Chain A
């Protein structure tokens, strides 16, 4: 797989779309079956009020159509982030991850946890996602999460329990949070005995510096591949799902799950 960490031009879909197309072709030349782009790669992260004019319905939007042409031609899977507009309520927007494959659109995931603190203002613009789908593809069973979701073990656990072998986490993480993400991406992989690929933005938007450092984490927590910090990069790495079974036997976290704790968690979380 290929980790395409881009620096995006805020609000310029044409520019970003062309950069994505270039990276898909380059990834294909490196024999990648999957290329992953950052959160909101199509528009840049800090779009603020421009979100309303930049969002598109998924999968009907033009940008999806244009990227589908590339994934079909290159016979490749792509995950990327974009602003989604609801077909039924035009002010209902989502921060969404899209999965495309050699036959076109496969599915989408709407961000479940929206950061609205510090420099983040996502709840001002976006509606929460309520689904955590797992996609059965010929490159494995994929679950998608977005950035701040990685702070909440529940969503990755849910995807794993639904059969996901590979968690794809797309991100727009600014530099002051690097240590958190470097720790949590490893933790989510280990505790779920799953592969995790993390792809972060680079570049500077509104004073926020995105740090890159995209990576593939093995189920035992080892870093299989790591992209550069703070610079655009197209890192690649190979994963082998047969290693999942070996790790699951060594640290059988799924076997040892205690479902009754989830009831207690729910009760406590509702009364925080």
Chain B
């Protein structure tokens, strides 16, 4: 197997129809009347919102922009509005700054210098808002996590990854960009640098120290059971660098699973209680 960018090419028409069928099927079986999504104006959430609107019709999709003053970006808000207009779904804006302020005032251990804890609180506050809308409107929360970020754990536990369905979670970031262009998400959104927007000037590739084009191929190799030596050799990278990515992938399993317990009973939730998704 050759680790070149060709390895990540997709049959985009097929992927589009599979994702749309998945969304329609799950929403129908759940009895919900549509989905609510956080739309930041980035490529993942724009693409997920767009494909959800293509699958369900714009009337069944509610996008929510959840900006806050510290990371507010005029361009991102405009991008979110642009996608909503183009794909025909409603976009509501909820400024979460006052909610965050009240958290900061209420938490005795709050430390303004701890930007990671503060950033995670932002992501979890967005999740709380999305679930409130979902409950009120009988909709599902549709997540927009991609495979790259999910594999390396580059997300907030119970924050941005918390959702009822995650339609693009089996696509690497660079594949989401391909899908974005394919379904008509404006190119400026499809190709702009990713940001989790947890603090000012927060850029994903800068924080990760790697380009998504490189990361995705390393992860693709790991997905296909390649050794880090083989991956490093093919990609002309130091093996220690690839090992670090692998360690990060493995160390974050706790973020991807339900909470671990110790086995005491006959069948255990999250372990050998193996049930299917069934509709009522």
A residues near B (Cβ < 8 Å) are 9-12, 44, 46-50, 121, 175, 203-207, 209, 230
Alpha-carbon gap, A50 to B277, bound state (A): 11
Nearest CB in chain A to that of B272: its residue = A49
Q: Which residues of A contact B257 (CB under 8 A)?
A: none
Contact status B276-A205, CB under 8 Å: yes
Alpha-carbon gap, A47 to B278, bound state (A): 9
Q: How would you classify the secondary structure of chain A's contact residues: helix, strand, loop or mixed?
A: loop
Q: Which residues of B contact A9 (CB under 8 A)?
A: 278-279
Q: With A175-B18, A205-B277, A206-B277 known to touch, is A49 a contact of B25 (CB < 8 Å)?
A: no
Q: Which residues of B contact A205 (CB under 8 A)?
A: 276-277
Nearest CB in chain B to that of A43: its residue = B276
Alpha-carbon gap, A205 to B26, bound state (A): 9
Q: With A49-B267, A49-B273 known to touch, is A10 a contact of B278 (CB < 8 Å)?
A: yes
| For the complex of A and B, 5 pairs with smallest distance between CB atoms | A204-B25, A48-B274, A46-B276, A48-B276, A49-B274
Q: Which residues of B contact A12 (CB under 8 A)?
A: 278
Task: Digitize B16-47: 1 where CB-to-A-CB distance is under 8 Å, 0 elsewhere.
Answer: 01100110011000000000000000000000
B residues near A (Cβ < 8 Å) are 14, 17-18, 21-22, 25-26, 267, 273-279
Q: With A49-B267, A49-B273, A204-B26 known to touch, is A11 a contact of B278 (CB < 8 Å)?
A: yes
Alpha-carbon gap, A211 to B14, bound state (A): 11
| Most chain A CB within a 10 A radius of its CB, from B14, B267, B274, B279 | B274
Q: Which residues of A contact B21 (CB under 8 A)?
A: 204, 209, 230
Across the interface, B276 reaches (CB within 8 A) one of A47, A175, A209, namely A47
Alpha-carbon gap, A204 to B55, bound state (A): 15
Alpha-carbon gap, A48 to B275, bound state (A): 5
Within the complex, the shortest CB–CB distance from B247 to chain A, in Å, comes to: 25
A-B contact pairs, 17 of them (CB 8 A): A9-B279, A10-B278, A11-B276, A11-B278, A44-B276, A48-B275, A49-B267, A49-B273, A50-B276, A50-B278, A175-B18, A203-B25, A204-B22, A205-B276, A207-B22, A209-B22, A230-B17
Alpha-carbon gap, A207 to B169, bound state (A): 11
Alpha-carbon gap, A207 to B18, bound state (A): 10
Contact status B276-A10, CB under 8 Å: yes
Q: Which residues of B contact A48 (CB under 8 A)?
A: 274-276
Alpha-carbon gap, A203 to B279, bound state (A): 13
Within the complex, the shortest CB–CB distance from A207 to chain B, in Å, comes to: 7
Nearest CB in chain A to that of B277: its residue = A206
Alpha-carbon gap, A206 to B278, bound state (A): 9
Alpha-carbon gap, A204 to B22, bound state (A): 7
Q: Which residues of A contact B14 (CB under 8 A)?
A: 175
Q: Which residues of B contact A207 (CB under 8 A)?
A: 22
Alpha-carbon gap, A87 to B270, bound state (A): 31
Contact status A206-B25, CB under 8 Å: no
Alpha-carbon gap, A27 to B279, bound state (A): 28
Within the complex, the shortest CB–CB distance from B99 to chain A, in Å, comes to: 33
Alpha-carbon gap, A13 to B279, bound state (A): 13
Nearest CB in chain B to that of A11: its residue = B278
Contact status A49-B275, CB under 8 Å: yes
Nearest CB in chain B to that of A47: its residue = B276
| Most chain A CB within a 10 A radius of its CB, from B14, B273, B277, B279 | B277
Nearest CB in chain A to that of B24: its residue = A204
Q: Which residues of B contact A175 (CB under 8 A)?
A: 14, 18
Nearest CB in chain B to that of A121: its residue = B274
Within the complex, the shortest CB–CB distance from B201 to chain A, in Å, comes to: 37
Q: Which residues of A contact B26 (CB under 8 A)?
A: 204
A10-B278, A205-B277 known, 4 other contacts, Cβ within 8 Å: A10-B277, A12-B278, A203-B25, A209-B22
Within the complex, the shortest CB–CB distance from B6 to chain A, in Å, comes to: 18
Alpha-carbon gap, A188 to B18, bound state (A): 29
Q: Which residues of B contact A11 (CB under 8 A)?
A: 276, 278
Alpha-carbon gap, A44 to B275, bound state (A): 13
Nearest CB in chain A to that of B19: its residue = A209
Nearest CB in chain A to that of B29: its residue = A204
Q: Which residues of A contact B25 (CB under 8 A)?
A: 203-204
Alpha-carbon gap, A11 to B280, bound state (A): 11
Q: Which residues of B contact A206 (CB under 8 A)?
A: 276-277
Within the complex, the shortest CB–CB distance from A165 to chain B, in Å, comes to: 36
Within the complex, the shortest CB–CB distance from B205 to chain A, in Å, comes to: 29
Q: Which residues of B contact A204 (CB under 8 A)?
A: 21-22, 25-26
